[in-house]
Amino acid sequence: MKKNFILLTIVLVSLSVFIACQDKASEKVKSDNDEVSLNIVTTEDLKKSLKDKNTVVVDIRSEAQYIGWKSNGVKRGGHIKGAVDFPLTWTKDLNNEKLNKLLNTKGITKNKTIIVYGQEVESSKEMMNILKNLEYKNVKVYKEGITKWASNKNLPMDRLKRYEKLVHPKWIKDLIDGKSPKTYNNKSYKIFEVSWGEGKDYKKGHIPGAYHLDTNLIEEEPLWNVKSDKDLETMLVNNGITYNTTVVLYGKDTTAAARAASVLMYSGVKDVRILNGGYAAWTKKGYEVEKDINKPEAVKEFGLNVPSNPEYIVGIEKAKKILTKENAELVSIRSWPEYIGETSGYTYIEPKGRIKGAKWGHAGSDAYHMEHFRNIDNTMRNYNEIKKFWKEWDITSDKEISFFCGTGWRASETFFYAYLMGWDNISVYDGGWFEWSMDKSNPIEKGEPNK
């Protein structure tokens, strides 16, 4: 009898402890849910917040989705108008110090209310927790996400005007696999990895089916200006390119791909595209690479006169005229030390300074980097940020704009970005500082300018 009583007592005590633990667990779940619910904003809340200067709306999806590419289930491409881009994937590659610094450059600061959205709420919650761990105090989640927002045509969205010319790895993968990706309405395409020389990186591995394009086929010494129109036509025909071929360009260095893009557009190729983020974007996705050396089959003719868009690449006389025009700007895409005359930027260019009257269009840390126009993964920087720093130098879309650098590569990259942004009256001054500085009669300046 006594033994049964003891057993009964043990059972009752254990049961009470179990119930108490369950109650505490339920309280914790309830507490967590309450905390999340307090940080959820509705569509109406978000509409109001877009007008609040103390609130930053953050799109954590991919750069491709942000600039305009539609994902499955989303009715409109692009992003909520006014939102800044900060893909969740960026948080994986940075320590807290660098992550904080990058967030601040995007205006995502701890003194503001941060509203995070994506396509799936779990990703948004993950980003919210990352920010809270960085001691951001007021972080909220737009739970309904881009799918809900994009379904209502009355809600404002924005996108890069010619986003389709800046493709993502999955788009190329679908193209190779014969799936006719969105915005591709052609029967013929060519993919080229672009670099100077014989293609050492290409031989180590490249996108399946891609050919190598040596920049020596499109430019030549002594100034590294674009080759003659006859030589360009020969290059196009030999590489199997007609005016109607969709040409996708990429490289380890996007600047080389952009140089080729400007030449192809000048020649008359109607559909020229660049892989956003370059070859690294392809490999980061884990897609297949090959080492076979592919050789394009030549075509009989290009199909149009070369050049068909002569306005895209201009010479020194045109550059001089632009400097005299009231509604035009000659824009230097060189590092600040190059622009103010501390360095020429190149071992083979001796004179230092800038073309007198040229505006500074930003570039990077030196002649071989373009950080001002790139994200940390080498994708194109937010186009609204580019517009903003260009506007500070009176570089605007309503003007005639001609970009130049040392020999044309960096200028070509910004030319392509301006083209993506929908700017129409644009060109590359091909000779750039190299050509200009060789003639001592051409006016130059040094030192910090008055804007």
| Catalytic residue list | 405
Tokens of 28: 């914790």
Question: Are the C-beta atoms of residues 331 and 395 closer than 8 Å to each other?
Answer: yes
Dihedral of the CA atoms 241, 242, 244, 246 (nearest 10)? 0
| Residue 304 to residue 244: CA distance in whole angstroms | 10
**55 bridge partner residues:** 113
Residue type, 299: V
Closest by CA to 212, choosing from 270, 307, 292, is 292
Sign of the four-CA dihedral 388, 392, 393, 396: positive
Closest by CA to 366, choosing from 403, 327, 339, 326, is 339
Angle at which helices 254-267 and 409-420 pack, to 10 degrees? Answer: 70
| Residue 272 to residue 262: CA distance in whole angstroms | 9
Q: Identify whether 222 is preceded by a cis peptide bond (ω within 30 of 0).
A: yes
